[in-house]
Structure formats: C-alpha cells, structure tokens
Amino acid sequence: MAASMERMCGAALRRSSVLTDCSFSWHKNLSLRKTLVVWKQPPFRTFFTDRRKVHAALVVRTFRLRPFHFLVATGGGYASYRQYEKYKEEQLEKMGIEIPIKLASEWEVSLYKSVPTRLLSRAWGRLNQVELPTWLRKPVYSLYIWTFGVNMKEAAVEDLHHYRNLSEFFRRKLKPQSRPVCCYHSVISPSDGKILNFGQVKNCEVEQVKGVTYSLESFLGPRTCTEDVQFSQTSSCNSFQNQLVTQEGNELYHCVIYLAPGDYHCFHSPTDWRVSHRRHFPGSLMSVNPGVARWIKELFCHNERVVLTGDWKHGFFSLTAVGATNVGSIRIYFDRDLRTNSPRYSKGSYNDFSFITNNKEGIPMRKGEHLGEFNLGSTIVLVFEAPKNFNFHIKPGQKIRFGEALGSL
C-alpha cells in the first residue's frame, strides 16, 4: 500500500514537472515570439510607410495626367464624330442628295489650328526621306497602293523595289503616253484630281466648294508694284477683282482641283503663259479634302500656299498650290529660293519674289510643261482672265487627269 502510494506520488510529481516545463517552454516561446514580433515591427511599419509614399506619388502622377487623358478622350471622340459625319456625307453624295452646309464655328477652327500640323508635316517629310530596306519596299508600297487605289501601270518605273523611299514613290514620273496633252482647248488640267468648283468670280468672292466662299484678295494678296506697273490701265479706286481684269469685255474665272493622296503628285502648266511673280504665304496645314473644305470657310486662306501670277494671251493668269496636312513641301522647279513649311513664321506674313529682271520678262511656260510637285495630295487653284465666251467642259465632282480639257473659247 505504501509502495503504491509512493509510486502515485512520483507519477504526480513527474506530471507536475512536465507541466511546469511545458508552461515554462510556452511562456518562453511566447516571450520569444513577442520579442520577434517587436523586432520585426519597425521594418513592417517602414514597408507600409514606403507603400503610402508610393501610393501618394501615383495619386499625384495620375492627377497630373488627367488633363492629358481628358484631351485625348475628347479629341478622339470629336475625331470619331467628324469621321461619322464624313461617312454620312459620302453616302448622300452617292445617292445624289445635296449635302447641307455646316460651317465650323470660330472655336472649332481655333481648336483645329492648335494641332501642330506643321510639326507633324515636317516629321512626315523626314520620314519620307528614310531609305527603306529592299525587302520592305514592296509590302509598304503595296499597302499604300491598295489603300489609295494607285495605278502603277501608268508609272514610268513599275518595279516597286526601284523607289528607295516614300518620297521617291510619291514623286514618281508617268509614262509619256499615259497623259496625252489636249491641243484643241486653251486650258487643260494641270494635275490629276477631283473638280471641287469652277465658274466666274463674283463680288471678289470665290467658292472653294458649292456654298462656301473665300475672299479673292485674301487668297492672292494685295497687288505688287511690278503688277501695278504692268496693269496700269486699271484704276486704284476699282475693286480688287476689277484690277485683275486687264482687257475690256473680259471676266475673271476660277477652278479648284483637289489632289487625293493616291493621285499623281506633280502638276504642270495648264496653258501657254509667262510667270512674272511668286508670293509665298506661310500658314496652317489643315486638311483640304472636300469634307473639310465644306466645313471651314476660307480654308485656302488659312493654309500655306504658293501663288504664281503672270499673264497669258487673254490677260491675267495665276496658279496657286495650296499646302495641306503632311504636304508642307511645295516645290516649284524653276524657283530654287522657295522654302516652305519653315519652323517659324509671322502670322499673316508673306514674301514676294519677282522673275522680271533686266534680262528676263518672266518665266515662259508651255502647256503641259512640268511646273512643280507636292509631297502628298493637296489642291490647285486657277484664277484667270478670259473673254465672256469662255466655257468650261467639266462638272463639279468630276475626276480629271492631267492633260484633259478644262475649258476653251
């Protein structure tokens, strides 16, 4: 009995010792955990502090980018709306329904002009000069041909690998027989393109498209001293339109031809005439496609342009090459001093150059002779004097090619 009691007491003592050891071990581990937790707390807090800093930086950065996102969203939405309007106008044209005129407001024109189209056009011009690898030329040019419907069978060189860069491809020459020059009409088309408008100039206003006009004086600029001497028969008190008409019984006519990106980019002399003066107007480079011409009043007066003036057998004659988006480069073959799309210019300014010297009375041009070129599609505007029985042989919206008849007496 005593022995059993002794054994029970020993077992109880052992259990107590184990429990004590376990308790001590648990308290020890707990204290260690607390110690470890306390030891780890500073980095944990530091981590969250850094995270707050990063989060705050992201918030500030996001706030700073919000205006940019807003402009991109609104600009993209507005561009999409304009594309939708353009699609509706094309559908109306196909159905033969007259498109209602919706002129842009001043803020819309200002917003459009705020786009750095001159900078983009210079960048596009430099990109055009980059020589393409031989293996890349055919895919790139083929995509352009498919997009804009280019007829390469008319090109003097049909092999796409021949054109080292986009600029050479845009300025490709045609086969001589592909554009026969009409000899039976006094005025021919100087380029490939689409007839936007034509007719008599009335009240010193010219229609860029039907129902949308611009000022002839703003477009051509004031008369020069050499021109005033040459056309001294007119009186200074007469209107600008009357000053241009040099022969009694004549009228002033105009014709607007739009060159699409897929058209032949060179332009030629539309008749036999003599170029006496060049005037270069630096300006915006907004698109000149028919939809924009129907939307912005005096579009051609806003854009950069090169005005060539002179005379032909019936009096005053002028040809104006109008620049457009990605068409900052306008080249006149006989004018080496001409530089278009300069980085800096004064708004409303222009510069003149006279081809009349002691030894020369201007630059004689023959009908169909090469005159100049665009870097991409744009617009040619003819303003000329002719007798009252002058008749146009074209229709608005008609596709025309260089060398075909515009009109005759």
Q: Which residues are catalytic?
A: 192, 268, 378
d(CA 256, CA 398): 11
Per 3-state DSSP, the chain is made up of helix, strand and coil in percentages (nearest 5) of 40, 25, 35
Going by C-beta distance under 8 Å and a sequence separation of 6 or more, which residues neighbour residue 249? Answer: 387, 388
378 exposure class (CB count in 10 Å sphere: 0-12, 13-18, 19+): buried
Closest CA to 308 of 383, 373, 369: 383
DSSP state of 66: H
Smallest CA-to-CA distance from 262 within 165, 382, 399, 403 is with: 399
Nearest one of 112, 167, 115 to 327, comparing CA atoms: 167
- The beta-strand segments (E) located in 21-115 are none
Joined together, the tokens standing for residue 41 give 């707390």
Distance CA 119, CA 328 (A): 9
Dihedral sign of CA atoms 77, 83, 85, 91 in order:
negative
For residue 266, give the amino acid letter.
Answer: C
DSSP-assigned letters across all residues of 114-180: TS-HHHHHHHHHHHHTSPPPHHHHHHHHHHHHHHHT--GGGBS---GGG--SHHHHHTPPBPGGGSP
**Spatial separation of the C-alpha atoms in residues 26 and 12, rounded to whole Å:** 21
Q: Which amino acid is at 46?
A: T
What is the residue type of 99? I
Sign of CA dihedral 3, 5, 8, 13: negative
User: 273-281 and 266-268: which strand pairing?
Assistant: unpaired
